[in-house]
């Protein structure tokens, strides 16, 4: 379980997050939507401390992760992250990309890591790409590998930062299918996305963010059909045609 309390983030005088409060239960899929610059990605990145919160607390499994004494690398092991730009390691093959962290960080033995790697490649449907370099793969394939790489650390939760925003339209569905599968398996996930249909289908709860704040949160059904807040209505009217 992840509990966020009174989270603030600012760059100098520029406030990016204002008083964010949120609880993410195990097995829950939270989808964050909202206009560009509303702080969605920053919030997500605060959850594994890629961004350092200015104020407030984030508790992961009873551990206050903003505490200076906490080994942040250990916290990150528990939270997989998938980026908009995939960020695969170009100098490593697909299987090396996946097995690197498990073997070097978790000290898993190589054979075991490769077995796990192949299982995960099977899961994302790319077992035949095991020994190629990322540059030879399409965006959709790279993103599926990036998901497998994050899963290889056997995280307790997964964070997705606009996972389909850099993809050609015809590749979006193959990536979304993998994420939907994870949701079915009960993975705890926080997803920032602009894919509203997907948000509605996969989310247990939708957070709408605007101007550095969580404006509204509700089940997808209620949020999309009966938005309470004027800003939510305005946003949805612009993107749902």
Give 199: exposed, middle or buried? Use CB within 10 Å, 0-12, 13-18, 19+.
Answer: buried
Q: How far apart are CA 207 and CA 226, in angstroms?
A: 14
Minimum CB separation from other proteins for residue 31, in Å?
Answer: 20
Interface pick for other proteins out of 7, 17, 58, 79 (rule CB under 8 A): 79
Say whether residue 112 binds other proteins (CB under 8 A).
no
Annotate each residue in 26-55 with x if it binds other proteins (CB under 8 A) or - if it does not, as one string. ----------------------x-x-----
Distances from the Cα of 57 to the Cα of 5, 50, 193, 205, 214, angstroms = 5, 15, 24, 21, 16
The Cα 157–Cα 145 span in angstroms is 17
Could you tell me where the DSSP H helices lie in 33-138? 40-47, 72-77, 94-104, 110-123
Residue 132 C-beta: closest distance to other proteins, Å = 7
Q: Which of 26, 105, 119, 181 binds other proteins (CB under 8 A)?
A: 105
Distance (Å, rounded) from C-alpha 106 to C-alpha 211?
39
Count Cα neighbours of 202 within 13 Å in the Cβ-side half-sphere: 31
**Closer to other proteins by Cβ: residue 74 or 211:** 74
**145 close to 135: Cβ distance less than 8 angstroms:** no
CB 226 → other proteins: shortest distance, Å?
A: 36
Question: 163, 133 in Cβ contact below 8 A?
Answer: no
Choose the stretch contacting other proteins; rule: CB under 8 A; options: 82-90, 112-120, 173-181, 233-241. 82-90
* Site membership for other proteins, residue 87 (CB under 8 A): yes
Instruction: Based on the shown chain and the rule CB under 8 A, indicate whether residue 104 belongs to the binding site for other proteins.
Output: yes
CB of 23 to other proteins, least distance (A): 22
Chain residues binding other proteins by CB under 8 A are 48, 50, 73-74, 76-77, 79-81, 83, 85, 87-91, 100-101, 104-106, 132-133, 135-136, 146, 149-150, 153
């Amino acid at each position: 379980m992840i509990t966020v309390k009174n989270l603030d983030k600012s760059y100098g005088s520029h406030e990016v997050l204002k008083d964010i409060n949120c609880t993410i239960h195990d097995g829950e899929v939270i989808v964050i939507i909202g206009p560009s610059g509303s702080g969605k990605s920053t919030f997500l990145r605060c959850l594994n401390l890629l961004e350092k919160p200015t104020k407030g607390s984030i508790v992961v499994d009873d551990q206050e992760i903003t505490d200076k004494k906490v080994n942040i690398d250990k916290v990150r092991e528990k939270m997989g992250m998938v980026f908009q730009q995939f960020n695969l390691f170009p100098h490593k093959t697909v299987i090396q990309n996946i097995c690197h962290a498990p073997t070097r960080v978790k000290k898993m033995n190589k054979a075991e890591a490769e077995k796990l790697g192949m299982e995960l490649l099977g899961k994302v449907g790319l077992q035949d790409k095991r020994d190629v370099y990322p540059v030879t793969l399409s965006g959709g394939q790279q993103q599926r590998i990036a998901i497998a790489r994050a899963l290889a650390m056997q995280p307790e939760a997964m964070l997705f930062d606009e996972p389909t925003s850099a993809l050609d339209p015809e590749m979006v569905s193959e990536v979304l299918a993998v994420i939907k599968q994870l949701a079915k398996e009960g993975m705890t996930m926080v997803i920032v996305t602009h894919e509203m249909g997907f948000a509605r289908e996969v989310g247990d709860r939708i957070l709408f963010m605007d101007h550095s704040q969580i404006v509204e949160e509700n089940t997808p059904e209620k949020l999309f059909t009966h938005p309470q807040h004027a800003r939510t209505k305005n946003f949805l009217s612009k993107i749902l045609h």
